[in-house]
Structures are given as structure tokens and as C-alpha cells.
């Protein structure tokens, strides 16, 4: 009995390791190849060396990437766009969820239902009319002391940020989380003379850390990884985000070492960020009511 139990734990562990190997091998291959010259990448492919940083290792590919692509500019753009989207997204969506879950607002049920209904509209079906629509929106520009109004958001930073701030799924996550915080806290704060915004800022939000971590990651990932949208709405090189940089490698006689270096360069920041927050992220998404 005990022996068979030990065997089953050992075999479970073996299966776990097998799954981990399948999940990780392409990423390890990418990171390792980014350090090798092209000839060696192909030479190592038929052996375990494909996954090991052995042989002629250097960061030459990375240096070459910065020559071929304005990678620094793209990275700065992506960091800025993602950070602003995350911060504004956390604020706007949590504020909305706060009113919907903790205040007695007339008509809030209808509003919540309508917000949830937007979840079934896939972004891909919105993208094309959205391009047409943002091109009709006014654009305010402060030129010295005079405010200039022109038409069309195409080729700007805000077109990459503002449409993605409000998000029904984030509102839903915050709503579920706020429901689990006792309402007595609000009442106590109100008796002490606190206004609603003060309750939001000083009572509820400090307790909603796990929900905020989840919303932050779920907003950050699509912002950092966005490809289709900037491809359609951003033409100027100095406004483009990192994923578009990949287009610079779609040409004949591509150096795969450089491709792998660029791919690693835009993946590693996300992975590092994810590992730093992974405990709070996976635990919170697993407990914050993604339960259907």
C-alpha cells in the first residue's frame, strides 16, 4: 500500500516534469539561440546543445538588433503605454465597481448587466469600425498658448491607450472582490464622517490588493503584447510599440540569431514582472471569483 502510494507520487511528479518541459522548451530554445551566431544555431539543432548556452556565446545579436530596429524607442513607448493603461485602468474600473457593489445607486443593476454584456463582443469584431471611429474623433493639441483642435486620432499615443482603459472584465473582478469585503467597514467610516471617495480610497482599495494585482497583470499583458491594433492605427516609427518591431525582421536573408535576440528582449521584461508577482497573481485569480 505504502509502496504503491510512493510510486504514484513519483509518477505524478514525472508527469509534472514532462508538462513543464513541453511548456518551457521553446522559450529556453529562444533565449539560448539569441546568444549564438546563426551557423551554430543550425548546427546545435540536432542535439541537446540546442537548449544549452554552449559554444560561441556572445551578445552580438543584441547589439545588432539595436542597429537594425529602433528597439530602445519601441521599449520606451511600450513601457509608457502599458503603464498609463494599467494605472488609469485600475483607477477607472475599481471606482466603477465600487459604486456598483457598495453604494445604493438607482439603476445600478441595469448598468452592471449592460457592462457585463460587453464581454461577449470580441475585440476583433470591433477593431475595424473602431479604426474608422477614432479617425473621426477630435484631437486637442496645446501649441504654445493656443489650443489647436484637429480631427483624427490615428498615429497618436492616446489611440493606443484610451480605448483600452475601461474593461468589463476588470470591473467584474473588482465587483466580485468588493462583495467579499464586509459592508460594516463602510458604515463605520461613514459614522466617522468619511465621504464615499474617502471610503473608496482609504478603506476598500487598501484591502483589494489581490484584485488590483490581477487587474494590473490582465491589463498589462494585452497592452504590452498588442499587435493588430497598433498595426492598424500607428504609422510613425517614433510612436510604435515593441511588437511592431517584429515586422522589421520579415524580410529575406533574416538573421535568426537577431530575431531570437529581439524576441527575447521583448519577452524577458514580462517574464521577470510575472515571476515577481506570480504568487499574488495566480492565487488571486484563482480566488477572485473567475467562477462563471
Partner 1 sequence: MTTSPLPTRPRPAVKTASHPVPAAPRRRAGFLREQISGWGMISPAAILLLLFVFLPAILGFGLAFTNARLISPRPVEFVGADNFARLFADPTFWRALLNVTYFAVVVVPVQSALALAMALLINKKFRGVNFFRTIYFLPVVTSMVVVSLLWLFMYRKDGLINELLSTFSFGLIQGADWLNDPATAMPAIIALSIWQAAGFHMIIWLAGLQSISGELYEAAQLDGASRWHQFRYVTWPGLKHTRSLVLVTITIQALGLFDQVSVMTQGGPLDSTTTIIYEAVRSGFKQQETSYASAISLVFFVLVLLISAVQRYLTREKD
| Touching partner 1, residues 24-83 (CB under 8 A) | 24, 26-27, 29-30, 42, 45-47, 50
- Residue closer to partner 1, measured from CB, 157 or 274: 274
Closer residue to partner 1 (CB): 22 or 142: 22
> 261 is written with which cell numbers?
535576440
Which backbone phi and psi does 156 adopt, to 5 degrees?
A: -140, 175
User: And the C-alpha cell for 201?
Assistant: 480610497
Shorter beta-carbon distance to partner 1: residue 126 or 188: 126
DSSP state of 239: G
232 near partner 1, judged by CB under 8 A: yes
Question: Interface with partner 1 includes 124 (CB under 8 A)?
Answer: yes
Instruction: Report how far residue 94's alpha carbon sits from residue 166's, in angstroms, rounded to the nearest whole number.
Output: 10
> Does 87 sit near partner 1 (CB under 8 A)?
no
Q: What are the distances in angstroms from CA 215 to CA 92, 123, 168, 176, 181? A: 12, 18, 11, 12, 17
Q: Per rule CB under 8 A, is residue 14 in the interface with partner 1?
A: no
Q: Is 111 in the site for partner 1 (CB under 8 A)?
A: yes
Interface residue with partner 1, options 224, 234, 239, 261 (CB under 8 A): 224
278 forms part of the interface with partner 1 (CB under 8 A): yes
Please give the Cα distance from 51 to 204 (Å, whole number).
47
Our CB check for partner 1 shows the closer of 146 and 233 to be 233
Contacts of 101 (CB under 8 A, 6+ apart): 174, 175, 178, 179
Q: Give least dist CB 59 to partner 1, A.
A: 19
**Listed ranges 59-67, 176-184, 192-200, 201-209: which one lies at the site for partner 1 (CB under 8 A):** 192-200
Task: Classify 151 as helix, strand or coil.
Answer: strand
CB of 191 to partner 1, least distance (A): 12
Among 75, 185, 203, 225, binds partner 1 (CB under 8 A): 225
Binding mask 139-158 for partner 1 (x = CB under 8 A): --------------------
Q: What is the C-alpha to C-alpha distance for residues 264 and 269, in angstroms, rounded to an integer?
A: 9
Burial label, 93 (beta-carbon count in 10 A; 0-12, 13-18, 19+):
buried
Residue 78 or 239: the one with the smaller Cβ distance to partner 1 is 78
Amino acid at each position: 500500500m505504502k509502496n504503491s502510494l510512493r510510486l504514484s507520487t513519483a509518477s505524478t511528479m514525472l508527469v509534472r516534469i514532462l508538462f513543464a518541459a513541453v511548456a518551457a522548451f521553446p522559450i529556453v530554445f529562444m533565449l539560448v539561440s539569441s546568444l549564438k551566431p546563426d551557423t551554430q544555431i543550425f548546427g546545435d539543432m540536432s542535439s541537446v546543445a540546442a537548449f544549452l548556452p554552449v559554444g560561441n556565446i556572445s551578445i552580438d545579436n543584441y547589439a545588432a538588433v539595436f542597429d537594425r530596429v529602433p528597439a530602445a524607442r519601441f521599449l520606451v513607448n511600450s513601457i509608457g503605454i502599458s503603464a498609463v493603461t494599467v494605472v488609469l485602468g485600475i483607477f477607472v474600473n475599481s471606482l466603477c465597481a465600487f459604486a456598483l457593489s457598495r453604494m445604493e445607486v438607482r439603476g445600478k443593476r441595469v448598468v452592471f448587466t449592460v457592462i457585463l454584456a460587453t464581454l461577449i463582443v470580441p475585440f476583433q469584431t470591433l477593431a475595424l469600425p473602431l479604426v474608422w471611429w477614432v479617425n473621426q474623433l477630435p484631437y486637442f493639441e496645446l501649441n504654445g498658448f493656443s489650443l489647436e483642435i484637429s480631427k483624427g486620432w490615428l498615429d497618436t499615443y492616446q489611440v493606443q491607450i484610451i480605448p483600452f482603459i475601461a474593461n468589463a472584465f476588470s470591473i467584474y473582478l473588482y465587483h466580485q472582490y468588493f462583495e467579499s469585503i464586509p459592508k460594516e467597514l463602510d458604515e463605520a467610516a461613514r459614522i466617522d464622517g468619511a465621504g464615499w471617495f474617502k471610503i473608496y480610497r482609504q478603506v476598500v482599495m487598501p484591502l483589494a490588493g489581490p484584485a488590483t494585482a490581477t487587474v494590473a497583470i490582465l491589463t498589462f499583458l494585452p497592452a504590452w503584447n498588442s499587435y493588430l491594433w497598433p498595426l492598424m492605427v500607428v504609422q510613425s516609427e517614433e510612436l510604435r510599440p515593441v511588437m511592431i518591431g517584429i515586422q522589421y525582421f520579415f524580410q529575406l536573408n533574416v538573421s535568426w540569431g537577431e530575431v531570437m535576440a529581439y524576441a527575447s528582449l521583448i519577452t524577458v521584461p514580462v517574464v521577470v514582472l510575472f515571476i515577481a508577482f506570480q504568487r499574488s497573481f495566480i492565487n488571486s485569480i484563482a480566488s477572485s471569483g473567475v467562477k462563471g
